[in-house]
Amino acid sequence: MNRVLVFFSAFAMATLGWAAVSSQDAVFERLKSPASVCVKGDPCADAVGQAGPVVAAARSGEQVYNGACAACHNSGAAGAPKLGDTAGWADRLPKGNETLVRHVVEGYNAMPAKGLCMDCSDAELADAVAYMIQGL
């Protein structure tokens, strides 16, 4: 009888112990965090810290003017030459387009750099200058 009891006890412990471990593993699996750690050198680390490409269509000179330049150049604020005002542009035009664009990009007198359009490219600002002086 003792042998049967020992065998039965060993069998029960092995069976219940395995079930407890299996159950415990299942609980740990359910509680596992969805986050993961990516260490330098692992394949998952190749793209860490890299932004995806952002491609935006260039704005036209008129769009840049209306979005950033019009506030001052429609009213003439701080001496800004108005759109279409030949007299206001008379002393600026002889400086040449390159100088006008450089003044826009770097800022000049009361005009802040880029006319405060910090997301405008130099090419977009050059198009805005061309838009402002067209027909003068």
Pick the closest to residue 60 from 135, 120, 107 (CA basis): 120
Model confidence pLDDT, tens digit, residues 44-90: 777 777 766 666 789 999 999 999 999 999 999 999 999 999 999 99
> Is residue 126 within 8 Å of 101, Cβ to Cβ?
yes
CB atoms within 10 A of CB 73: 21
Model confidence pLDDT, tens digit, residues 27-40: 888 887 777 777 88
Please, how many CA atoms are within 13 Å of residue 80, restricted to the half-sphere of its CB?
A: 22
pTM to 2 decimal places: 0.60
108 three-state secondary structure: strand
Name the CA radius of gyration of the chain, rounded. 36
CB atoms within 10 A of CB 117: 19
Q: Which residue has the higher pLDDT, 33 or 9?
A: 33
Domain range 61-133, its CATH number among 3.40.50.20, 1.10.760.10, 3.30.390.10, 3.40.50.300: 1.10.760.10
Domain boundary assignment for the chain: 61-133
> Is residue 122 within 8 Å of 78, Cβ to Cβ?
no
